[in-house]
Structure 1
Amino acid sequence: MRKKLRNNILPLLALLIMITLGACRDNEQEQAAGSTAYTCPMHSQIVQTEPGSCPVCGMDLVAKAAQGNGITVTEDLAFLIRPTNTSVVASIATVSPIKKNGQASIKMDGIITYDPRRVYAVPARVSGRIEKLFVKYNFQPVRKGQKLMEVYSPDLITAQKELLYLVKSAPEDKNLIAAARQKLQYLGATSEQINRLLRKGEETYTFALYSPYNGYVIDLNTSAPASTASMAAAPIASAGTMDAMGSSSATTTPTSVPTTATGQQGIQLREGMYLNAGQQLLRVINTAQLWAEFNASASEITALITKGTPLQITFPQLPEETLAAKIDFVQPYFDEGQNFAKVRAYIPGSQKLAMIGQLVTAEATYSTAPALWVPKAAVLDIGNKSVAFKKIKGVFEPVAVSTGIVSGNMIELVTGLQQADTIAANAQFLIDSESFIKVKN
């Protein structure tokens, strides 16, 4: 009985095992069928669980490769299959940045001008008429004590008569005589002229005006001071009577000298021209020291361009001649939306090269702080940024860099590279660099 029961159970167990195995196989097939994904060959972002067409381009979807059956993308392979506009494979010379103190220079264009602190005005101290004029043109050299002009002035004649009258009638009144003598000095008379007047005992109707400075005459074409829009009335002696002191009581006739609309410049000084007290006759420039003024871009002027920085001044008409000087003043300047700096240097007037109004060029040389330097050819300017080609695993990858000053054929690197990096020595080998290069940073 037991043996018969065993024979019946064994076939049932075998049948149960077969049914179980079949069910598992069907389940695996169903899971495999359900996990299959379909994508577009042209648009990888399109993924579906069933076959069909791409909603973008209409191509038939294809099944994705089962996980583990495709190509494993390693780090090296990922580096090689990157987009073509992110790296360059080439065999060119390479360099590494060098850290050093650089020698930089700035070239500036300028002009030789006079020192405004050595420009002196010669005004008219009295009203009168120019009888003789001994300075005829601008930049005429004059020396201290040289006669500039002779003028006729009723005020000077009156002051001379007063002094002579007091000397003759009240010689014991020293204070009054000293006051009359001082009045003549205030009107422009020198001590020598006053002593000559006392020796002769007779007034002079034309009085000489002398230059109090050495230099060159400028601004002979001057007008009255800015406070007067036109020349004030100049007294002209006419027939009249003499008072008790012998001074003239002549009437005066107002006469004006035309000026320009701006009141800054009138007609040139000439013989017979009437003057007003306080009118600027001319100016005298002392050329014992000159200025060399240069305009430089504000971006080029650094903290290292300071007072004492040496300059080498050259002359376009004399390229073989140079003049050594030092910067004395740097002035930031803003004019008509442009930001720049005026650089000034003093030049002795005794030298023979520089003359007022002459155009010159200067080069300022200075030492920079320690920084990374590379050849200029290793940096490529693509318009909106500068790049250098850094060598990574045998290929060159463009890296954005910021640059500083240029010294000769070297350029300063501010950011973007390290001293241990290796870059292409010549970054100019790309023809269409702007459209090709894609910089990550």
Structure 2
Amino acid sequence: MKTRLMTVVLAFLIVAESFALATEESEKEILYWVAPMDPNYRRDEPGKSPMGMDLIPVYAGADEEGNDVRISPAVVQNLGVRTAAAEQGTLSRLVDTVGYIDYDESKVSHLHMRVSGWIENLSVKSEGERVSKNQRLFNLYSPDLVNAQEEFLRALNSGNQGLIQASRERLNALGISRGDITRLENRRKVRQTV
């Protein structure tokens, strides 16, 4: 008899609680429905958002501009949101990460030869070795450069201005500076390496 009485009382309490929750929900006035992931997507009736999620109701009296963060209980349950009280403490400074070290590209100069040939004397022997401006890196022997210098000297000896100008332009195109061309013109001696 006691067991039946306890069962009836327990059932009554459960039904009363459910009825109270349902009454409380029905008393709130629904203003509109919004998408859970985009509060700008509003509708006048329940439905699905563009992402396929159920729209959630916004009730009258809800503070839209407040600083409170409010998440509906259904969303909290679905997402598994967990909360904790804020507390003061020290943050760890240990950070493990992956990184790459490379040269500063703005300070790297590339040297490209305009002629074929071979290096006879190498001054800088290893990659990454520091060099300074105007430091000789190597001596280059190029049969093309030797031939171009000889042609320029023959043109100078002939006195033909058109041929001299063409030879001068060829040397310049092969990467010989105007100063080096002037020195060649004054010395009249072919340099075997540059």
> Normalising to structure 1: TM-score of the pair?
0.24
The structure that has the greater radius of gyration is 1
> Normalising to structure 2: TM-score of the pair?
0.49
Higher strand share: 1
Higher helix share: 2
